[in-house]
């Protein structure tokens, strides 16, 4: 009741939820109460969560923040949300996002932008919450949920967590099933938890993760007990500081909080080692070729025929065209066109194939560095949250905000963002930890020292 009341009161301004489901939430909470009364409590019993509106939820509208799915009610449940429900979680509603998770501002949603609950000390301007999981981050930051699910293709859990002053974990690629999560870029998409702190994230990830035969890229590996890693400490841990994440343009405030994090880890017994990831500069162009190529293929299914918005026309081609024109927003169209372009004959070798090769070089950079260090520490984003009306009109300028988050995604590595402190305007900044594949525990142990 408390969280539903908070959501009803705050959502008109913050717009973190596309759909609130008070009836569903109350029914789940009642079932939780009954289990607890019998002494049969499940690990997440009664915990109220926001679910990013990219996870299919059986019987509850799932839109991907797109007009093309605005009335879509899935007949099945995603594996991640099924896992959470089986552990007793309560779903308050579906959280807003950038359309099809394409963005880092939450301003491309068909259901309107999300407003960051934080404000600058000096102005009342509305700030972006980051994206694409901006609704999830804002819901947690504003006290409209205890935790949330997010998805991260190139930073969509980590960057909004940083902008909203909360914690977000992108696990290793393959750790959480993609089954029933609406696809953006299949070789990059990964679900993960967002919450106030690492302990809450560890609890949620425990439930979300695990092998799923419905997803061919799901990892057949045991899920460690993440809570056990939290207090392991960092004595003797080797922490790498990649020089490429320290461009001249990095604001001094971010630099200072990064240095403070380095000092805390050193004081706690970690060895700090300067490292180099020389292909980092190619991360953004490679990401924006690979992700868009995959998106153009994944979004071909929205044709107005099988499900979603249909605009009738005289011919089949006309129906496709009219439905897609009515259903997709500007950024999604841009990405489908660019993705189609880089895959088209004559351009495939120059762009897509080339990008795949450079992706391998980026992965090899990480392999080399992780022979010498156990975890990497970097800033999460090159800026704090900016005002909605400061969003650059040039899309490439917006893409630049992903500079620190996309490399780990391209390499399939686990990475998390945790609050690092506030800038001079009182806005939160985040620090990122990147771990070896399937070693989320190391990030949890190091992160705990920085909380
Ligand atoms: N901001 C990135 C993009 O626009 C990442 C999005 C995501 O991780 N889903 O593609």
* Share of residues in the chain with pLDDT > 70 (%): 100
Span 400-430, pLDDT tens digits: 999 999 999 999 999 999 999 999 999 999 9
240, 436 contact by CB (below 8 A): no
Selected catalytic residue, list 32, 104, 156, 409 = 156
Mean pLDDT of 360-376: 98
Residue 421 vs residues 120, 164, 194, 298: alpha-carbon distances, Å: 14, 11, 18, 38
The confidence score (pLDDT) of residue 142 equals 98
The confidence score (pLDDT) of residue 124 equals 95
Span 190-210, pLDDT tens digits: 999 999 999 999 999 999 999
The confidence score (pLDDT) of residue 424 equals 96
> In angstroms, what is the span from residue 156 Cα to ligand 1's centroid?
5
Q: Which of 151, 47, 41 is nearest to 95 (CA)?
A: 151
Quote the pTM value.
0.98
pLDDT over 90 at 313, yes or no: yes
Is 297 one of the catalytic residues? no
189 lines ligand 1 (CB under 6 A): no
152 lines ligand 1 (CB under 6 A): yes
Q: How confident is the model at residue 304 (pLDDT cuts 50, 70, 90)?
A: very high
Span 109-160, pLDDT tens digits: 999 999 999 999 999 999 999 999 999 999 999 999 999 999 999 999 999 9
The confidence score (pLDDT) of residue 352 equals 96
Q: How confident is the model at residue 37 (pLDDT cuts 50, 70, 90)?
A: very high
294 lines ligand 1 (CB under 6 A): no
The confidence score (pLDDT) of residue 306 equals 87
pLDDT over 90 at 307, yes or no: no
332 lines ligand 1 (CB under 6 A): no
Q: Which of 186, 211, 226, 145 is nearest to 416 (CA)?
A: 226
Q: Which of 420, 429, 450, 414 is nearest to 226 (CA)?
A: 414
CATH of span 1-276+372-451: 3.90.1300.10
Is 132 one of the catalytic residues? yes
302, 319 contact by CB (below 8 A): no
Residue 37 burial by CB count (10 A; 0-12/13-18/19+): exposed, middle or buried?
exposed
14, 142 contact by CB (below 8 A): yes
Mean pLDDT of 259-281: 98
Selected catalytic residue, list 78, 104, 132, 177 = 132
């Amino acid at each position: 009741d408390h969280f539903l009341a908070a959501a009803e009161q705050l959502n008109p301004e913050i717009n973190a939820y596309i759909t609130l489901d008070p009836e569903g939430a109350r029914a789940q909470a009642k079932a939780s109460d009954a289990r607890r009364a019998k002494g049969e409590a499940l690990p997440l019993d009664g915990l109220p969560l926001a679910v990013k509106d990219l996870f299919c939820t059986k019987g509850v509208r799932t839109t991907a923040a797109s007009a093309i799915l605005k009335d879509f009610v899935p007949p099945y449940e995603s594996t991640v949300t099924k896992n959470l429900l089986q552990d007793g979680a309560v779903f308050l509603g579906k959280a807003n996002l950038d359309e099809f998770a394409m963005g880092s501002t939450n301003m491309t949603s068909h259901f309107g932008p999300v407003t960051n609950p934080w404000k600058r000390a000096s102005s009342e301007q509305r700030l972006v919450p980051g994206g694409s999981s901006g609704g999830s981050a804002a819901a947690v930051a504003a006290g409209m949920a205890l935790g949330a699910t997010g998805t991260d293709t190139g930073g969509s859990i980590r960057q909004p967590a940083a902008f909203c002053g909360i914690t977000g974990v992108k696990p290793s690629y393959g750790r959480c099933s993609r089954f029933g999560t609406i696809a953006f870029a299949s070789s990059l998409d990964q679900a993960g938890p967002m919450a106030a702190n690492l302990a809450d994230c560890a609890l949620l990830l425990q439930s979300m993760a695990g092998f799923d035969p419905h997803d061919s890229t799901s990892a057949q590996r045991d899920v460690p007990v993440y809570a056990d890693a939290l207090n392991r400490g960092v004595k003797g841990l080797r922490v790498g500081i990649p020089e490429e994440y320290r461009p001249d343009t990095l604001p001094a405030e971010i630099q200072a909080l990064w240095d403070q994090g380095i000092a805390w880890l050193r004081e706690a017994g970690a060895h700090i080692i300067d490292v180099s990831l020389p292909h980092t500069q190619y991360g953004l162009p490679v990401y924006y070729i690979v992700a868009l190529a995959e998106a153009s293929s994944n979004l071909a299914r929205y044709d107005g025929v099988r499900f979603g918005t249909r605009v009738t026309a005289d011919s089949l081609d006309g129906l496709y065209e009219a439905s897609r024109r009515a259903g997709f927003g500007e950024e999604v169209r841009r990405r489908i066109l660019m993705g189609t372009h880089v895959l088209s004959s004559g351009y495939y070798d120059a762009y897509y194939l080339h990008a795949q090769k450079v992706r391998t070089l980026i992965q090899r950079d990480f392999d080399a560095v992780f022979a010498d260090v156990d975890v990497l520490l970097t800033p999460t984003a090159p800026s704090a949250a900016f005002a909605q009306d400061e969003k650059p009109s040039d899309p490439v300028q917006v893409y630049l905000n992903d500079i620190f988050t996309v490399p780990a995604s391209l390499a399939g590595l686990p990475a998390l963002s945790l609050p690092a402190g506030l800038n001079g305007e009182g806005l939160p900044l985040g620090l990122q930890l990147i771990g070896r594949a399937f070693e989320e525990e190391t990030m949890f142990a190091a992160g705990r020292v920085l909380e």
